[in-house]
Structure formats: structure tokens, C-alpha cells
Amino acid sequence: MASICPATVIVAKNALDRLDSILDPYRHVVCVSDEIIRGEYGVRLEGVVKRGMTWLMVSDYQDGAFPRNEGDVILGFGGGRSLDVAKLLAVELGCDWVSIPTAASHDGIASDVASVSQDGYKYSKKCKRPIAVVADLSIMSRAPPRLKLAGTGDVLCKSSSLAEWRLGKENNGEYFDDSAYHVVESALASVMRNDSLEVLVKAQIDAGRAMCMVGSSRPCSGTEHAISHAMDRHSQELHGLQVAFATPLCLYHLDQAGYTKHKADDLIRIMRKRGLPVSLTEMSLAPDVFIDDIHHALEIMRKRGRYSVLGGIDDGRLSETIAKLY
Ligand SMILES: [Zn+2]
């Protein structure tokens, strides 16, 4: 597995202090971050980096505008947007990049896939994997609790994406990889058992590894993710909360098809216990808007050539399932 993993993964308190040795081969660092993280941890990071460093705030990033030869390694230091920009910039400049997440809000911390917005939609763009992940638990534990909740949702939703992936292989001839499947399956099981930050971060890193192994987001992203992308048209809710919310619906129909190890009701129980939104009211979502999101999601899946467990299910049955679960 070593060849598809980041060479170095550090998940520990004060992991940031160990960044220096990772940067040994490099001369000048470009750090992608935001004002809040820079204000909070900028001096500490500069003390660790001990070489020339240029800051790039995500709000200032423009595709193709950053000067070439400015640095030979990129640090993504912050939340999802900072890591996404670091990935895009690493491809643009042909540099290595290091992932230094400050919150466990999603599974992109070790993946080679960036979330990009276009025409009001978010889509996944394949970039390059980080050479190292430095997950400093002392920093990540200070992030707002809702971000950890979203990160938990982005792992719990693998109960649906994994089952649908297997179904997609059998019904649609989609590429399937047993080892990647099992990596994500055990990451999911660990987060179902244990609510600690360390377990969550390791699960997210494993999910990112699996995406690198397969060369696509498919193991970690099924119809529940497409529904979240459709929700983005009208909602600002965190990605992980959206994907988790859509998961019981997919699980219910995966169960009907005989393809899931996890029942919708069991997942709802875990989500409720962790504090994730599980009802239409908690998501401020009307049933007809949810159904419209599902239609859009099916269109997204169709365009990507991916099988959806919700394909062919009429609105009447969808309404019944929604009434039953949410
Ligand atoms: Zn996700």
C-alpha cells in the first residue's frame, strides 16, 4: 500500500513541531491558509518552517495567477478550502504539497481530489495526493465542534457509498477494488464504534488513501454525495451534515436491493446520538425540495456514468421513504 499513501502521516498532539524534517528537501515554502488560521497559528508555523515562506490567503487565490518559481513546496494549512487550493496550486506549479488540516470536517485531508465550484455546483477535480499529512490534534481539537460533527457525517455516509459502489460494479460494470473497499469499510467501522477525534482523523486519512488507490472518489462518494451537491444550490449547510442526512434514504433502498450491511434505522440512531441532524425540520428542508434535490442528484450520477440506487424509484415511493425516515 505504501506507493499510494502519503509518505508520511503524523496524527498526534503537537504534530506541527515535526514538520521541519518533512521540509528538509525544500528551499522555499508557499503556505495556503486563511486570515483566522494565520492570525492564530502563523507565528508558530513560521517558527517551525525555518526557511523562506510566502503566505497565500485562499480569498486571494486565482487560477493561474500565482507566480511560478515562488516556492518548491506547498502547505495547505486550514480547513477544506485551504486544502483544496493547496491541491490545485500544487498541480498548477508542479510542486509537492503537505496537508496540515486544522479541522476534521471532511475526508479530503489526505485525498488527491479537490472540491471545485462551477456554475453554482461543486464537483470533484482530480489533483495530486499530499506527500505528507500532519494532523496536529492539539490544533484540530480547538476547531468548532460542528466541524467535527460534519467530519463524522462524511465518514458515516460511507455505509451508503460503499454498498452502492458494489452494486454499481454488478449492475453497471463499474471499476471496483476490493482492498480500497476494505480500507474504507474498516475506517467506517472504527468511527461507528468510537467518537474520538484521533479515530475520526485516521478514518478520514484512510478514506483519502482509498480514493488515491482507486483513482476516483467512488468508494467514498455515491448518491448521498450527489444529493449534497444538489442541496448546495439552495443551502449553505456543511458538506458532512448534508451527505450524512441523505445517507439513510440511500441505505433504505440499498437494503431493499439486499446490498447493505447497515440498516437505515441503525444509522439514524448513531447519527442522533452523535448530534447529527436527522429530520427535515433540523435541515430546514421541505419534502418537495428534497425530492427535487434527488432528481438533480440522479442527473449528476448519470452524467458521471455512476449507478444510483435511487434510479428508477418514482416520486411516490421516494415520498413514502422520506415520510418514514425523516
Ligand atoms: Zn464527502
CATH number at residue 270: 1.20.1090.10
Residue that terminates a domain, selected from 118, 140, 162: 140
Q: How far is the CA of 204 from the centre of ligand 1 (A)?
A: 10
Q: Does residue 151 sit in the same domain as residue 125?
A: no
Q: Does residue 131 sit in the same domain as residue 202?
A: no
| Pair 222, 250: CB distance under 8 Å | yes
What is the model's pLDDT at position 273?
A: 97
| Pair 26, 72: CB distance under 8 Å | yes
| Pair 99, 6: CB distance under 8 Å | yes
pLDDT digits (tens, 9 = 90+) for 37-88: 999 999 999 999 999 999 999 999 887 777 777 789 999 999 999 999 999 9
Q: Does residue 153 sit in the same domain as residue 8?
A: no
Q: Is the pLDDT of residue 168 over 80?
A: yes
Q: How far is the CA of 46 from the centre of ligand 1 (A)?
A: 31
From 88, 97, 146, select the one nearest 118 (Cα to Cα).
Answer: 88
Q: Does residue 135 sit in the same domain as residue 150?
A: no
pLDDT digits (tens, 9 = 90+) for 120-142: 667 778 888 899 999 999 999 99
Neighbours of 314 (CB within 10 A): 7
Compute the distance between CA of residue 310 and CA of residue 316 in angstroms, rounded to an integer: 12
Q: What is the CATH number of the domain that holds 127?
A: 3.40.50.1970
Q: Does residue 65 sit in the same domain as residue 125?
A: yes
pLDDT digits (tens, 9 = 90+) for 265-318: 999 999 999 999 999 999 999 999 999 999 999 999 999 999 999 999 999 999
Compute the distance between CA of residue 269 and CA of residue 263 in angstroms, rounded to an integer: 10
What is the model's pLDDT at position 120?
A: 65
Question: Cβ contacts of residue 282 below 8 Å, gap of 6+?
Answer: none
Burial of 277 (0-12, 13-18, 19+ CB in 10 A): buried
Q: Does residue 114 sit in the same domain as residue 174?
A: no
Residue that terminates a domain, selected from 106, 140, 174: 140
Q: How far apart are the first and last CA of the chain?
A: 40
Cell matching residue 127: 489533483
3-state helix, strand, coil in the chain (%, to 5): 55, 15, 30
How many domains does one find in the chain? 2
Compute the distance between CA of residue 42 and CA of residue 18 in angstroms, rounded to an integer: 16
Q: Is the pLDDT of residue 1 over 90?
A: no
What is the model's pLDDT at position 5?
A: 64
Mean pLDDT score across all residues of the chain: 93
Q: Does residue 77 sit in the same domain as residue 112?
A: yes
Q: Domain range spanning residue 125?
A: 2-140
Q: Does residue 110 sit in the same domain as residue 154?
A: no
pTM (predicted TM-score): 0.93
Compute the distance between CA of residue 245 and CA of residue 226 in angstroms, rounded to an integer: 12
Compute the distance between CA of residue 20 and CA of residue 286 in angstroms, rounded to an integer: 50
Cell matching residue 274: 452523535
Q: How far is the CA of 43 from the centre of ligand 1 (A)?
A: 31
pLDDT digits (tens, 9 = 90+) for 217-256: 999 999 999 999 999 999 999 999 999 999 999 999 999 9
Q: How far is the CA of 70 from the centre of ligand 1 (A)?
A: 32
From 254, 255, 230, select the one nearest 242 (Cα to Cα).
Answer: 230
Q: How far is the CA of 324 from the centre of ligand 1 (A)?
A: 25
Q: How far is the CA of 154 from the centre of ligand 1 (A)?
A: 5
Q: Does residue 89 sit in the same domain as residue 60?
A: yes
Q: Does residue 70 sit in the same domain as residue 155?
A: no
Compute the distance between CA of residue 213 and CA of residue 209 in angstroms, rounded to an integer: 6
Q: How far is the CA of 79 from the centre of ligand 1 (A)?
A: 14
Q: Does residue 254 sit in the same domain as residue 149?
A: yes
State which residues have CB under 5 angstroms from ligand 1, the bound ion. 154
- Report angle CA 56, 61, 67 to the nearest 5 degrees: 70
Amino acid of residue 115: S
Q: How far is the CA of 271 from the centre of ligand 1 (A)?
A: 16
Residue that terminates a domain, selected from 116, 140, 164: 140
3-state class of 143 per DSSP? coil
Q: How far is the CA of 24 from the centre of ligand 1 (A)?
A: 32
Q: Does residue 127 sit in the same domain as residue 151?
A: no
What is the model's pLDDT at position 164?
A: 97
From 139, 123, 171, select the one nearest 44 (Cα to Cα).
Answer: 139
